[in-house]
Amino acid sequence: MMRQAVRYFSVLLIVFPLSAHSASGDDELWTMLEKAAQAAHKLSYKGIFVYQSGSTVNSMQITHMNYAQGEYARLVSLDGQPREVLRQGNDVVIYSPRNEKVLVERRRIQVSFPAVLPGLTNTLKMSYQVRGLGFERVGGREAAIVSLEPKDQLRYGYRFYVDKEYGLLLKSVMLNERGQLMEQVAFSQLVLLNASQKMDWFRPEMARGKSYVMQPEETVTAEPGEVEGDGWTIAELPAGFRKVDQITRLMPGKTSPVQQLVFSDGMASVSLFIEPLEKNAEPKQGLATQGGTNVYAVATDGYQQIVVGEVPEATVRLIAGAVTFKK
């Protein structure tokens, strides 16, 4: 009996420290992700990152500076159609050449690599569990691998590769329900910069002689609280998702505005577009998939709904089905 008791207490001494260490380890991983989110905004750096989704591969050059007066970034597309994006704080301006003109479009702030992680992880903890997967070199730098594993089938999994020295996100991978790679983006080149350098880099470098044409700005509304519009409401969203934005778009050629609602679980983002069906217009119906993005269209009670997001098919269908139209 005494020998069994000793063995029992020995097991307790082993198990409980391991359990406490596991919880502490999880906290350290969550903290690492939070620091990576901050580093993407606080550090000054320049590099090239490559985005891959299926057979599509695109390269972007990024210059990001954090001066005393604020945060500035310039992104240049290195493949396909030329495109430049300048960001100052929350203001984004996109430059796209079209023949002899350069179209200039102002938008709201966009999530862009490496600033893809949320600043706070409490929302993520509701829908994901975290796990450390060791270390790997990315772009010539040592990175710690942190896995976000979904607790249900309504979202994808992620792996984040965080620079051990500077805490910056070096690589992001999205995995489907079977753990197969769907999309990834990673730095192939990266250097840290001195924030004391001049700002002569912060300008578009489009061809000279072209005229700049400003695109009309979108009408934007932010409506907290209940998700409801003119003639419709949303009763219940999939678990973990909440509304983070609502935009009214006035589209050329349409007589009625298009409502865009953005939902997020802290990591995944889904947009719902709702508009009255135009007279004699053929409604869009069905599901389309490209890479990790699912697009689901349905027409109900004279309204066209389109749901777009990097989430499983079940999630876009649930969001479309949550819309109730008022009689």
Residue 232 is predicted with a pLDDT of 84
Within its chain, how far is the Cα of 134 from the centroid? 24
Given a cut of 90, whether residue 29 has pLDDT beyond it is yes
- Both tokens assigned to 289: 């998939």
Establish whether the linkage from the previous residue to 276 is cis, with ω within 30° of 0: no
The predicted-structure confidence for 210-257, as pLDDT tens digits, reads as follows 766 766 655 555 554 455 666 788 888 999 999 988 888 776 667 788
The predicted-structure confidence for 120-140, as pLDDT tens digits, reads as follows 788 899 999 999 999 999 999
- Both tokens assigned to 61: 């050059």
Identify whether the C-beta of residue 261 lies closer than 8 Å to the C-beta of residue 252.
no
Least confident among 8-12, 132-136, 139-143, 169-173: 8-12
The predicted-structure confidence for 297-320, as pLDDT tens digits, reads as follows 999 888 999 999 999 999 999 999
In the block, tokens 């998939």 appear at: 289
Length of the chain: 327
The pLDDT confidence band at residue 147, using thresholds 50, 70 and 90, is very high
The pLDDT confidence band at residue 10, using thresholds 50, 70 and 90, is very low
**φ/ψ (deg, to 5) at 195:** -70, 0
Determine if residue 133 is left, alpha or beta; phi over 0 gives left, psi from -120 to 50 gives alpha, anything else beta: alpha
Given a cut of 70, whether residue 168 has pLDDT beyond it is yes
Q: Considering only CA atoms, which of 283, 311, 313 is closest in space to residue 297?
A: 283
Given a cut of 50, whether residue 82 has pLDDT beyond it is yes
Return d(Cα 286, Cα 288) in angstroms, integer: 7
Given a cut of 80, whether residue 289 has pLDDT beyond it is yes
Return d(Cα 261, Cα 268) in angstroms, integer: 14
Given a cut of 80, whether residue 176 has pLDDT beyond it is yes
- Both tokens assigned to 297: 């269209």
Q: Which residues pair with 249 in a beta bridge?
A: 258
Domains and CATH numbers, the chain: 29-216 (2.50.20.10), 219-325 (3.30.200.100)
Within its chain, how far is the Cα of 173 from the centroid? 12
Q: Which residues pair with 183 in a beta bridge?
A: 53, 174
| Three-class DSSP labels, the chain | CHHHHHHHHHHHHHHHHHHHHHHHHHHHHHHHHHHHHHHHHHCCEEEEEEEEECCEEEEEEEEEEEECCEEEEEEEECCCCCCEEEEECCEEEEEEEECCEEEEEEECCCCECCECCCCCCHHHHHHEEEEEEEEEEECCEEEEEEEEEECCCCCCEEEEEEECCCCCEEEEEEECCCCCEEEEEEEEEEEECCCCCCCCCCCCCCCCCCEEEECCCCEECCCCCCCEECCEEECCCCCCCEEEEEEEECCCCCCCCEEEEEEECCCCEEEEEEEECCCCCCCCCEEEEECCEEEEEEEECCEEEEEEECCCHHHHHHHHHCEEECC
Return d(Cα 64, Cα 85) in angstroms, integer: 12
Burial of 236 (0-12, 13-18, 19+ CB in 10 A): exposed
